[in-house]
Amino acid sequence: MKRLQAAMGASEMGRRHFLKLSVGTGFAVYAMAIDAQTPSAKPEDALTPQQQPSAFVSIDADGIVTVTIGKTDIGQGVQTALPMLVAEELDADWAKVRCNLGPAGEAYMDPVYKMQIVGGSTTMKHSWIQYREIGARMRAMLVGAAAKRLGVSASLLKTEAGVVIAPDGRRLTYGDLATAALAEPIPKSVQLKSADQFKFIGKPTGRLDARDKSSGQQKFGIDFTLPAMRTVVMLHPPVFGAKVARFDATQAKAIAGVEDIYQVPLYNGGVGLAVVANGFWPARMAREALKVEWDTAGVEKADTDALWARYRALARQSGTKAHSAHTPDTSALAGARLKITAEYTFPYLAHTPMEPLNCNIDYRGDQCTVWVGSQLQMADQAAVANVLGLKPEQVTLNTMMAGGGFGRRATPTSDYVVDAAQVAKARYAAGRREPIKMIWTREDDVRGGYYRPMHLHRVEIAHDGKGTVLAWKHMIVGQSITGGTPLEPFTVKDGVDETMVEGVAGSPYPFPIALEVHHPKVNVPVLWFRSVGHSHTAFVMETLVDELARAGGIDPVAYRRRLLAKHPRNLAALDLAVEKSGYGKKPLPRGHAWGVAVHESFSSVVAYVVEVSMRGNEPLLHQVTASVHCNMPVNPRTIEAQVQGGLLMGLGMTIPGAEITLKDGHVQQHNWNDYRVPTHAHMPKMTVHIVPSAEPPTGIGEPSVPPIAPAMANAIAALTGKRHRSLPFNV
């Protein structure tokens, strides 16, 4: 528990929060209890730091409203959507709204997780009320200040576009009232608008960061600099957990600009080398000039081919049951006349965000300042403090805009941040006081980072040939993401890591699935990847549903509609995609076929209807019609962008070469030259449609990733009769 508290920065919070965690591109906390023996620092009726307008809203004399958010923007658009929530209830002038990213701090903890985090597609879901109440409280304080200045009852005043208006027409701008408003009492209870009163929420809105990003002015963590800052690059062991046996730095130190080379302890027990120079290029050249012998004694050397053989053997052995209540009867499998037996394989995947991992640190002995694009600000703050022997409050962590993350910037070990802290510590001990910029190149991360685990599914299904499943036995083999971490007690239930089985366990399809798992221990570090377990389970479920439909001579859409009769949100998404695509009505060119998939993840549903043809053995994706049910669409423009980006990332998992393989413990891929990712050339024509809803919003960052690969596979099967059982499509 002490490790968990440290990871959460519990000493700064003033309370011990015991979290029950589930899945997410990061964490997704679905329940929390507070240790009753720890006294609260505030009266029961007091507002928490997360409810205080002063931490989130500032207004200058010109009426510019700056909203500080407690999240990291990794491209998902929260730097616009969260200010929209505040501006809606504040009645702000949107042209005068700006946004800042908040530092690590208690005020910016997620109201559900009770820690600062971006993950699990939960920002809108968890912040929906919080940020609107912040805006409403600030508005009430402005109105209170105006009432005193105008000598009018607050109940008679109205607000619009950053102005308070009296019944007689007198007007005071928010800029006029900003200072006085801060002296007004903060209301605990506020009345929020109804959906029919919204002026901003639900309206397509351009991103606040669009101008800076499109003009190249946006500053990311890798762009940050300080006077005299030094650059650090790491040389990690070629096998996970290995150590430096000996090294010769003579040639490296002879390179102009190179200052120091340190041995650095790594989170996994290994030891690496850090090269410090006055710029990135000399640091990288020096790293290449190092002569190193590595000690790999006692370290497992993972091998992809050997792992697949091991996984296949495990898949035929009894595993740990994923359903504790009961296990469906599978006796009908014996001697079944109609049966599907299938094996699915999914490789390790790297995250490879556009902006390489980086961390900037200025360590001054009793104080430290960090600039990093973190998805876990308080956890990374605590990790730096732990390395440097400081208290978390002695570490100021500034949140930087991040160029993509996909889960990689939310690591329980804070690996690259800890690397930077270790180097800062070593330099300080050596009398060096310059700030440092740690850069993990993309090659560093591809060869020595974290990966989406490889998985093998073995499925046996007995059916009646008319769409009814008589028995379903399902085995999943793959590493646990949280096993061996401080999160294991909260994510692994009865020996089953929930992040691995989501999408099969809890499927809306009413199949009698007897689900078991194996969690082999492998010396390969694994982590959540955008859409987590759904990145492989959706492919298995949606292709099998399609196969069952065709085996029964049933239209795949009609079959899904029958199975999803008790799930109206799933049906609504499916029906909208089908309607907008012209499925079953619009004639397709010869050699083209429809493919369909619909999948729910992170409380949202995404359906795809695709049009595919074949060029030899290569599938060509011509058109995608997407439909999403994420309840209230806060910013439809952001939702459209997220669905487009998620589709492209999911499409990337189908491209030959989109896999991480190992030989003798070494990762064989290096960068985008041999680890394939999708490009503009892969992007099909697509339209995105949103199911109307006034219900509180759900997630959108991850749900669009899983369904595209199975939709394509289903179209390929319709054209060729061949069922793809693996990703990528190695044709």
pLDDT (mean) for 77-103: 98
Residue-level pLDDT at 23: 29
Instruction: Decide: helix, strand or coil at residue 365.
Output: coil
Confidence grade of residue 20 (pLDDT, cut at 50, 70, 90): very low
pLDDT (mean) for 182-210: 97
Rounded to whole angstroms, the Cα distance separating 673 from 671 reads: 5
List the one residue out of 681, 688, 676 whose CA is nearest residue 630. Answer: 688
pLDDT at 303 over 60: yes
Confidence grade of residue 285 (pLDDT, cut at 50, 70, 90): very high
Instruction: Decide: helix, strand or coil at residue 125.
Output: helix
Rounded to whole angstroms, the Cα distance separating 681 from 521 reads: 38
- 564-587 in b/e form (b: 16+ CB < 10 A) is beebebbbbbbbbbbeebebeeee
Question: Which tokens belong to 689?
Answer: 């449609």
Residue-level pLDDT at 19: 32
Residue-level pLDDT at 323: 73
Considering all CA atoms of the chain, what is the largest pairwise distance in Å, rounded to the nearest integer? 87
Strand partners, 14: none
Residue-level pLDDT at 453: 98
pLDDT at 37 over 50: no
CB 435 within 8 A of CB 228: yes
Question: Which tokens belong to 196?
Answer: 């029919």
Confidence grade of residue 120 (pLDDT, cut at 50, 70, 90): very high
Residue-level pLDDT at 43: 56
CB 453 within 8 A of CB 478: yes
List the one residue out of 425, 374, 328 whose CA is nearest residue 9. Answer: 374
pLDDT at 523 over 80: yes
pLDDT (mean) for 294-302: 97
H/E stretch holding 86: helix 78-90
Rounded to whole angstroms, the Cα distance separating 291 from 302 reads: 24
DSSP 8-state secondary structure symbol assigned to residue 225: -
Rounded to whole angstroms, the Cα distance separating 473 from 515 reads: 6
Residue-level pLDDT at 262: 96
pLDDT (mean) for 680-709: 97
pLDDT at 488 over 90: no
Rounded to whole angstroms, the Cα distance separating 255 from 231 reads: 14
CB 62 within 8 A of CB 565: no
DSSP 8-state secondary structure symbol assigned to residue 440: -
Confidence grade of residue 42 (pLDDT, cut at 50, 70, 90): low
At residue 82, what are phi and psi to the nearest 5 degrees? -65, -45
Instruction: Decide: helix, strand or coil at residue 82.
Output: helix
Q: Which residue has the tokens 């809803």?
A: 693
List the one residue out of 308, 375, 348, 304 whose CA is nearest residue 451. Answer: 348
Residue-wise pLDDT for 579-615, tens only, equals: 999 999 999 999 999 999 999 999 999 999 999 999 9
Residue-level pLDDT at 44: 54
Residue-level pLDDT at 308: 98
Rounded to whole angstroms, the Cα distance separating 313 from 475 reads: 11
Residue-level pLDDT at 698: 98
pLDDT at 261 over 50: yes
Confidence grade of residue 731 (pLDDT, cut at 50, 70, 90): low
Confidence grade of residue 685 (pLDDT, cut at 50, 70, 90): very high
pLDDT (mean) for 169-196: 97
Residue-wise pLDDT for 216-255, tens only, equals: 999 999 999 999 999 999 999 999 999 999 999 999 999 9
Question: Which tokens belong to 106?
Answer: 């208690």
> How many Cβ atoms from other residues are within 10 Å of residue 206's Cβ?
12
Q: Exposed, middle or buried: residue 33 (CB in 10 Å: 0-12, 13-18, 19+)?
A: exposed
Rounded to whole angstroms, the Cα distance separating 15 from 35 reads: 8
Q: Are strands 258-265 and 271-277 parallel, antiparallel or unpaired?
A: antiparallel
Residue-level pLDDT at 730: 83
Peptide bond into 392 cis (omega under 30): no
CB 337 within 8 A of CB 275: no
Residue-wise pLDDT for 354-377, tens only, equals: 999 999 999 999 999 999 999 999
Q: Which residue has the tokens 């009698």?
A: 512
Rounded to whole angstroms, the Cα distance separating 438 from 383 reads: 15
Confidence grade of residue 40 (pLDDT, cut at 50, 70, 90): very low
Residue-wise pLDDT for 716-725, tens only, equals: 999 999 999 9
pLDDT (mean) for 530-549: 98
Rounded to whole angstroms, the Cα distance separating 114 from 118 reads: 12
H/E stretch holding 295: strand 291-295
pLDDT (mean) for 63-77: 96
Rounded to whole angstroms, the Cα distance separating 184 from 145 reads: 7
CB 104 within 8 A of CB 379: no
CB 604 within 8 A of CB 579: no
Confidence grade of residue 215 (pLDDT, cut at 50, 70, 90): very high
pTM for the whole structure: 0.93
pLDDT at 57 over 80: yes
Rounded to whole angstroms, the Cα distance separating 502 from 600 reads: 10
42-51, 170-179, 647-656: least confidently modelled range:
42-51
pLDDT (mean) for 696-722: 97
Q: Is the backbone of residue 395 left (phi > 0), alpha (psi -120 to 50) or beta?
A: beta
pLDDT (mean) for 39-49: 66
Question: Which tokens belong to 710?
Answer: 């199975």
CB 153 within 8 A of CB 729: no
Instruction: Decide: helix, strand or coil at residue 569.
Output: helix
Residue-wise pLDDT for 134-157, tens only, equals: 999 999 999 999 999 999 999 999
CA 79 to each of CA 71, 147, 554, 594: distance values in angstroms, whole numbers, following the listed order: 8, 32, 46, 37
List the one residue out of 637, 609, 605 whose CA is nearest residue 703. Answer: 605
**Residue type at 63 in one-letter notation:** G
Rounded to whole angstroms, the Cα distance separating 347 from 660 reads: 7
pLDDT (mean) for 452-458: 98
pLDDT at 695 over 60: yes
Rounded to whole angstroms, the Cα distance separating 48 from 43 reads: 10
Residue-wise pLDDT for 613-671, tens only, equals: 999 999 999 999 999 999 999 999 999 999 999 999 999 999 999 999 999 999 999 99
**Residue type at 555 in one-letter notation:** D
Write the DSSP assignment of 584-649 as a string of letters: TTSPPPTTEEEEEEEEEETTEEEEEEEEEEEETTEEEEEEEEEEEE-SS-S-HHHHHHHHHHHHHH
Residue-level pLDDT at 8: 38
H/E stretch holding 253: helix 250-253
User: Residues 234, 401, 533, 113: what is their CA dihedral angle, to the nearest 10 degrees?
Assistant: 110
Q: Exposed, middle or buried: residue 216 (CB in 10 Å: 0-12, 13-18, 19+)?
A: exposed
What whole-number percentage of the chain has pLDDT above 70?
93
